[in-house]
Structures are given as structure tokens and as C-alpha cells.
Amino acid sequence: MKQIYTSFHEVVKDVTDGSTLMVGGFGLVGIPENLILALRDSGVKHLTVISNNCGVDDWGLGLLLQNKQIDKMIGSYVGENKEFEHQVLSGELEVELVPQGTLAERIRAGGAGIPAFYTPAGVGTPIAEGIEVRTFNNKEYLLQTALKADYSLVRAAVGDTQGNLIYNKTAQNFNPIIAAAGNVTIAEVERLVEPGDLHPAQIHTPGIYVQRLIDGKQEKRIEKLTLTQLA
């Protein structure tokens, strides 16, 4: 049995100023909406956030940006977040941009206990500045270090009370690797079931990686609504 909470504010109350967070999702798909809202309301500051992107201006991690709660962002995509752009240009926000595949592998390595690895992505670009370069089979590779976090925040479609999680379709983006790379992993689930209700072959994150669970309803906003007019 894992720690199961009924209050989103309670489940994140020990996230302190200066913490490093990993947050699952891609755009607005698979983000832990209610955990982010609880962090916004908590007023915690000086956060380092590791996530693919920083949401949009009025939703997701963009809410923490609006509150000036994030000091540093490690991600791969700037997106269309105007507040993100403003804070970067004004020097309020430190940003480390990482190629998306490299970011995913750095997170995965952190969860697997691998301290570093070499990748060809970024060789000969500004990303390579100050990074060790080695040659393997006549090809240059950059040394990249693993990423870990004090807290990992993920969202699953279904979870059982032992912490086993199943993600819905493309919500499998960064959530599974992020769940493995946090010292404390908090899972926001849309439906909580009893042990044995999930088929073992369908589980994406084993419960050993999850410390806290909470269920709640999500809005599931659309980042950019595109409509097609039928003839």
C-alpha cells in the first residue's frame, strides 16, 4: 500500500523552496494538472523544473511561471508561451535547452542509475560548449549527465493502491521515465483501483517507483484547437 491522499495541497506540502521537480507531459497532454495547481497555490519558489516544455501562458507549468515560482527550466521545447519568452529575455528565468531525445535519455538514465552517457546529438553546435567530446568508431559524441529530481509529478489514467500505473495513449510521453527518476514520485490518477484490477502486462510504471497517490478529475485542455470544416 502506498500513501494515498485526498488533498492535492497536502500531497505537495513538503515541496520546499529550491526543490528540483520533474513534471510529466508533452504540451498539455498527460500533465498532472491538479498537482501543478496545488504548487501554484502553495507559493513555493525558486524551483528548478525539468519537463519537455513549460505549458502555455494560462495552464500547466505556465501557471508557475506567471507566479514567478520557477528560477530554472530544463527542457527541449519553448513552444508558444509568451511569459516564458518574456522571462528568458529579461533574465528572470534561466533556461537549459536540451535536444528532446537527449532530455529523455538523461531522465531515463537518472531512473536507471546510469550517471552519464555519450550521444552524437549536439556535436558541433552551441550545446557542445564546455562539454567533453569523445570519438567512438570515428564519430564524435558528447558526454551528457543523468537527471534526477527531488520530486517527480506524473499523471496516469489508472493506478492501483500499490502504485502501479497505466497511462492513456500519448500520455505515455515523458511520464514513465519521469516516474522512475524522482526521489519522491507523486502520481495523480484519473481512476484509482484495487490491487489485481490491472492486468500485469498493461502496467507502464511499476509501483516500486511511486511513493504517493491521489485521484482527481482533469480538465484536459487542448493546447491549440484545430477544426476542419466539412463540405
User: How many angstroms from the chain centroid is the CA of residue 193?
Assistant: 24
- The whole-number average pLDDT for the span 17-21 is 98
SS3 23: strand
Instruction: Calculate the alpha carbon distances from 8 to 25, 134, 156, 179 in Å.
Output: 18, 46, 15, 18
Q: What is the pLDDT of residue 1?
A: 65
Instruction: Calculate the alpha carbon distances from 124 to 75, 95, 105 in Å.
Output: 20, 20, 20
Domains of the chain: 3-114+145-154+182-215 (3.40.1080.10)
pLDDT at 79 over 80: no
Sheet with strand 133-136: strands edge to edge: 116-119, 139-145, 133-136
Judge whether 205 and 182 are in contact, CB under 8 Å: no
pLDDT at 224 over 80: no
User: How many angstroms from the chain centroid is the CA of residue 189?
Assistant: 15
- Of residues 149, 146, 215, 147, the one with CA closest to residue 184: 149
Summarize pLDDT for 125-170 with one digit per residue, the tens.
998 999 999 999 999 999 999 999 999 999 999 999 999 999 999 9
Q: pLDDT exceeding 70 applies to what percent of the chain?
A: 100
Tell me the pLDDT band of 80, cut-offs 50, 70 and 90.
confident
179 or 58: which leads in pLDDT: 179
Summarize pLDDT for 94-117 with one digit per residue, the tens.
999 999 999 999 999 999 999 999
